[in-house]
Structure 1
């Protein structure tokens, strides 16, 4: 002690806090700890204090066993200059920690470890298994493994790797039994973690613990964890580290094929495999386990040695005969069989402990089942006809696990249900007719897990629920009629996990809710009616997970402060909460928070400039938030390793003379969506490889984006190769990629990305050829956008026959150089996209379709003239599937529209921004057309506008639709023709009159009356004009109309198709001095008949004379 310049003693305690340890040392040496808000500042301060000095540090009572945490601790306390002498003494209560923290023989063990790693032949799974097994072993045992004779044993293609056998031989005898039993299931199996433990217990594989407080289930959990650590079993799907949300898949286990082979090799002749589709050989009498596949009828093995058979699993066996099975059978698994009934002999299996019989057709649980007194696991989930349980159910006093989920006709439970005093797990999920629970449920004092999710008719819970003193998990999700929780819930002091998501009727929580002081997980997502949180909510001091997403009526203006008092929170979801207007400064109290989800909170107006206290924050989700908030987050001073997901922007960082990027932060992320932008900032291939995207099995959406025309440190081809996504991916977007070719995984997507549904390829400046996307069997949407040198979409795009079987939407945008699309994938006439629904082609001016039109039901073509102008061979190019077409921004002349000639099945046509004087000539070929909508853009040309007004007027009466210039359109039911905004303004300015469409009816009372005035045969034009003028003046007197100018009356007349085809008539109407009016009138007279040349002079006089009261009026008011 006398030889050290500095000395510090730190009591670590079970709660390991790296920053606290550092600050404690600094306070003892320096005395001041102000300004040390994050781990980096603490580390810098320690280096400054200890540089060039000797120091003794005592870490007393260290409990932390995590290797990564211990490594960080040692690095923080010893990563100084060489002239510093640091000595660390650690005291601990566990041998595991002592083994990890000690340095004795470290160099020797490292060298031995390298030798063992070399013998693993580069297989990570083998190294993982041995490494986990040797983690707490002494050097001698490491040497024994390295020098084992098994490494030099014979090796054939059928042998399992020696390294895996070594790991197996090092297991305890009970763990060997548990592992080998896993191989009874077929390859690729998935089994629930809890169900597997129950089967181990049923077979006697789990020894009782000397500690009476440790249950068999707990010992089984330890066994599972040990097998997981050795990679002998794996989780089916990883739980998301970015959200920590539990999923059903997070409890499913599976076995790698190599491990399955190892299990089968050690279980040997104890396993009987019977496949009804294969020949069966006689038994040898040693079988203890049986797997029966596709079998119907009696098995021969049952006649040979039934006494030794302990477990039998049936799969796809429609008829099961159990009459000869011995009473010593412990496990009967019918989980993979079709719906049926339990055999009558089930009651004879007196030693049966585990019965899985889901999807049975019984109307109630058979009484024979309740006679199985040793049963510890009963699964009859999905038995949709079960409506009641027998009173004898209470006799199953050994029962630990009961699953009746999905028994949708079960409406009640008997009072005898309380007799199941040892029951630990009760699953009544989706028993949708269940209205209440019996009071006797409070007698289930051993109950740990209760699942009532989806019980939509459950309106209340008994007060006796509070008697379940050991209850740790309660799931009430989607109990939509439940509007309150019983007051007795406050006594559930051991409750750790509570799910209330989807309880849409829940409007409040009582003040007693705060008594759940051990609650660590609370999910109240989509509790739409929840108005406020109780004041006692802040007393939930152990809460780590809180989800309030979609609580639309929750008053977070006040409650946000209460939430910010929950200092142990690790995950907080406030997405889709409209009352969330601000994030207070007190959010810095959440020092342990790693994920904050504010997605789609568009109303946030205030956000802290700094989040200094939130040192653990890793993920900030702001998808769908206001641009202001997103900008504020970018400008705020956060930790460098904090992520805003799903968008992640790669940035370069400098450390001395070395450059690196922050992409390595994605290594610990297991999010469902990732949008990785600015990939040009990645500084090495190794950085990208370390992300290990392929192992992120929860990832379903991935965006890989480079910034175009920006320099790179790493070539795009090499970087893309390392960013191999996981097999579960459904959406992939590649943007800004500058490579000329694609990586192996992209060229072989059909084998590694089987679930891909949508692909977008955007801004690929050097792309001339695309991967063979056609072989992606589940691909439904494909978008190609801005590929400036891409010229041909050929058959290589398909990758072979049977391409694009499920593709529904195909989009081509801004492909200015694309000249050809080969629409048929093979010589036999198979279409490239056989089931295409929607095709969108935008700004592809050179594109031609060869040899024919593609098969689709809906098209949208924008500024792609060649497609519309191309002519095809008659009889081979008709599209009989296209029913809806939208064309926009087409500048072709009306006679150049050839596409319509090949669309005999087209029913709906919309033409937008049409700029020509008349409709396309080829409209006559659209014999099936039911609806035509045209949006006219005349570019303010008065001549073109007048021509269109004439046309509109000619067809403005539904009863005279026959004047439409395409008599072949006999199926036409709806016609809409509209002018663009500029044209409508012109009409309003010059005419005070706007034509609408074919369904247009006169908009004023006067115009409706004019429509009813009919010119009789032989009636003079003068008489007809006087009749209209007289009507106008009469209506003006009574306030229903106005006195019209002469030229307006002419328009009204001509709008009703009365006139003469002679320009002389127009020139003689001297009062019509307005050139626009003359052109308008002439255009009408060109199209209609009715007046002779002799009427010309009379028209002029009539228009200039006052209306006579004696003029006859023909028509009706």
Structure 2
């Protein structure tokens, strides 16, 4: 059952008040128990009203302000309690014993908490004036039931209808098929289902059909009754579930049926498995058609398919708008059309919004009124509220409370901003918006689950060119902004035209914040000061913050800047800070005081190209989980990095020459995930020291870079360096391996072993003394291989495809998955031999560059063998070869040239 937005936050505060850690460190020492109990009682009394208030805030500004005031009071309480707990923990760790009555700051805190209690009590007393009462959470729905009748004209869905009809016809050989139409609220799922339900040709041969409105509460017994009523002219007198299922089975047996379940929400597999049993006795071609806002709903059956319904184009939305606005029949003019088309753009492809706003303007002929619709918020119009708001609200309303907070938090970003999934999860973590992890679960995994849940419910849509970037639909963004209220403020969009509210706790900005905006005493309770870089791919702009901004806002949890030149001095006082982003700054030195931020989870220093060292006290950041140092110029790691047991992300580790920043420190970091680079491996003494890094025990590393710095080509102790690489062997779940600067003639046997069946990419670079390539041909998943700057390599032979010393249970085709192959800057390479069996069956592209000794006469037959070994010659996309010995000029073959030459020589 869904919780009200504030319920989740109330739970956080109440759990803190009753937690053993808080009681042991704070209650009786910093806070009187009676005050703690008064605060808890006041919060719980107010909580009883929030479900009712959350529903009534739409159209009732006084209730909305009441909710915002209560949220502000809870924020204040949580900030004060968090700060008290952290200070008590710091003093306890330092074994400082100081009587609390002599602690002036603690006495001030007590006074502030007493004020919060009075505020919450006063707010609870307002319930009668505002008409608020205690109601069960999730007890109502904003949406009226749908029917099977098509209302009005349908625009832009012919292609969707044809695609679904094809899916239905393709399933005619199955006794039961389930098709789910998935899309966000207001996109037209029900309308499309109505069109199919009333399609005479499609229904030809159907014996029974029924239209059932399921809504959010999927009750198996009641839904079964409704199906029986639907196929029996409204008659169903049975109550027993067994009798209901027997009756439904009898009615459906040997019949072809078409059942629509509209507006389905439940993901409960047990309920679905129980419900679906009678439907499996129908005749071939029988179908259950679902409409849902969630991608993971419906029964688990063999013939289950999903159809994702996309938003409409602006042209189709204009047709809907014009049809409902009676344009141009009764109110046509070029001026109104121009405004109307801009209104349609605001609908962002949602037909429900276009229909509702068009109908709102149907009898309105004044330009002023059309402009009011264009420039005002959709929440302000009662006629729009009755359809658009509920359509979006239902999705939000049925989220768990912590997901509601995660969704509303996204209002800090401007419209059309590309949300970085990984970045957003780190921010949610810092703001304590996630549910508590279960045993064995990480915060990051919880954050990923939360994001995926919101994406599956279509709050986010994936950007086409990437896996980690998402955007919010404009009207969903409007909803988040409305629900955020005064507690969230986007300076980048609002600028100076609006005053920030005293209730503001989260602020995002772009280039600078004018002193006028932040000079008042209002801005003292910020939790978030988040820099938004609008220009993706460009460097951040310089940040200009009022000089007292940080000193006044001591409760900050998230702080990010644009491009800084000087490190902000008072930052070490921000003991509640969890997230600090200094990326792309010109900072040369980080002060030791940074290491006082004992609660810091994320430190981002990407692109700080002038930064050459980290402070020596980094080991004090015991809660640090993510350290991004890409693009810095660090010379070595600070001492004691192995104490950072929580570290989840470390861009790279630079091996030092002393014991306290050597490989043993890396060995303590067993929670590392994702990408890990290890640089300056020349500082490793021997194989035993390499083994102390425990690379093979780091089960969550996906990508590993092992790098020796450039130096002399000859190695005095080649066996020693080979032993070092041997003892840096990673676990077999690795996906990407890169080795750079290795200076020994041969590689250890683990490189290329078929047990590494998840490796998709290998890069070997600047291995100048190597004369034999490792046996990479038996890596079953390898798709991309790059060999660069091998100065001594003369021949590639059968050892490249298979190591005869490896005991394979079943030999496989060499390079069975390889698509992209690259050789560059190999000045001594003369010969390239292929194995007797076929190789490279999935080959797509080859690049050879800077290999002047390679015989051109040898290359052509090799190319022909590779291309004709491909499972599908048409997949070969690119062949680029240059600087061969027999070529007087660069030779490039691409597209048709490739096929023309190869087939000519065939």
TM range (shorter): 0.3 to 0.5
> Could you state the TM-score of these two structures normalised by the residue count of structure 2?
0.43
The structure, 1 or 2, with the larger RCO (C-alpha pairs under 8 Å, 6+ apart) is: 2
Q: Which has the larger radius of gyration?
A: 1
> Could you state the TM-score of these two structures normalised by the residue count of structure 1?
0.36
